[in-house]
Amino acid sequence: MNYRKRFLVEPGAKVQLGELDPDFTGKHANETAAKADIADDLERLRKLQYRLYAEHERSLLIVLQALDAGGKDGTVRHVFGAFNPQGANVHAFKVPTPEEAAHDFLWRAHAATPARGHIAIFNRSHYEDVLVARVHDLVPEEMWSKRYDRINEFEKNLVQAGTHILKFFLHISPDEQLRRFKKRLDDPQSWWKLNESDYAERKHWDGYRKAYEDVLERCSTKRAPWYVIPANHKWFRNLAVASIVAYTLDELDPKLPKPAADIGAIRRAYEEAAAATSPA
């Protein structure tokens, strides 16, 4: 299933999140019906990452953004668990440390970008600097309003250096968020995740919606596209993200490098060694 076209934010298109259905599940009626397709996509991710790593030329940056309880952690676990950790890295962006805050806002993002052959997953990202920073007036408008262009330039530079970029906004409804908060409240194993500010943040739902719409409109580019993923159903979110990443890696078509060694000579050496150790 290729959801790439369906959930893509066309560069420059106007976005109204209220018109995008967070409950959408496409042709699959439920998780059971989607199981085989999800497993297929995860298997494709495994194989493609192997080739990307071996090729050691290009890299992939995946940005995950969502409101609280939007499913960023779950996506990391269920989708990117398919990757070999040797070539994949998850970087969670928190409130900037004093050292990070002492630098320009892209400094910490740049430092976490993927090396050749690697995949980096940003759990939150440099976009927080035009989201939380804007909604909470952490910096004056004069400052955050200039950041969209800076972000586009930054991403363009990465693309030119061989990093492919995919950006996912996990779209949930306010009701679904409340259901997830309640589930956490009912499960002592989840209490560590609870935060009074999660509830306070709900008051800013409209502010975040506007801030996200601006991000999607201004920073979805051909080379570094945004996708809005219907995320009320976790299984569908996983399916959609996995299929878009797999499709993209497939298109990159990473190639195994030519062998650096003379395979024939190594085979002959092996056969001699094997003959010398086999019982007479």
Note the residues at the interface with Mg ion (CB under 5 A).
Answer: 68
Q: Is 91 helix (H, G, I), strand (E, B) or coil?
A: strand
Which is closer to ligand AMP, CB of 129 or CB of 213?
Answer: 129
Is the Cβ of residue 161 or residue 185 nearer to ligand AMP in the bound state? 185
Where in the chain does DSSP place strands (E)?
59-66, 88-92, 119-123, 163-171, 226-230
Contacts of 243 (CB under 8 A, 6+ apart): 1, 2, 3, 4, 37, 41
Stretch that binds ligand AMP, among 89-97, 112-120, 183-191, 266-274 (CB under 6 A): 89-97
Burial of 24 (0-12, 13-18, 19+ CB in 10 A): middle
Instruction: List all residues 6 or more positions away from 15 whose beta carbon is below 8 Å from its beta carbon.
Output: 9, 213, 216, 217, 228
Number of residues that bind ligand AMP (CB under 6 A): 10
Partner touching 103 among ligand AMP, Mg ion, none, CB below 5 to 8 Å by kind: none
Question: 49 or 177, CB closer to ligand AMP?
Answer: 177
Using CB under 6 A as the binding rule, whether residue 94 contacts ligand AMP is answered as yes
Taking the complex as a whole, the smallest distance from the CB of residue 173 to Mg ion amounts, in Å, to 18
The number of angstroms, rounded, from the C-alpha of 161 to the middle of its chain's C-alpha atoms is 19
Report residue 215 as tokens: 């991000």
Tell which residue, 32, 70, 61, 50, has the closest CA to residue 228: 70
Nearer to ligand AMP, 129 or 176 (CB): 129
Task: Enumerate residues 6+ apart whose C-beta is below 8 A from 75.
Answer: 64, 168, 170, 237, 238, 241
**Which of ligand AMP, Mg ion, none does residue 124 bind to, with CB < 5 to 8 Å depending on kind?**
ligand AMP
Q: Which residue stretch of 42-50, 91-99, 258-266, 270-278 sits at the interface with ligand AMP (rule: CB under 6 A)?
A: 91-99
Q: Which of residues 116-155 bind ligand AMP (CB under 6 A)?
A: 124, 128-129, 132-133, 138
Using the minimum distance from each CB to ligand AMP, give the nearer residue, 8 or 138: 138
Chain residues in the site for ligand AMP (CB under 6 A): 93-96, 124, 128-129, 132-133, 138
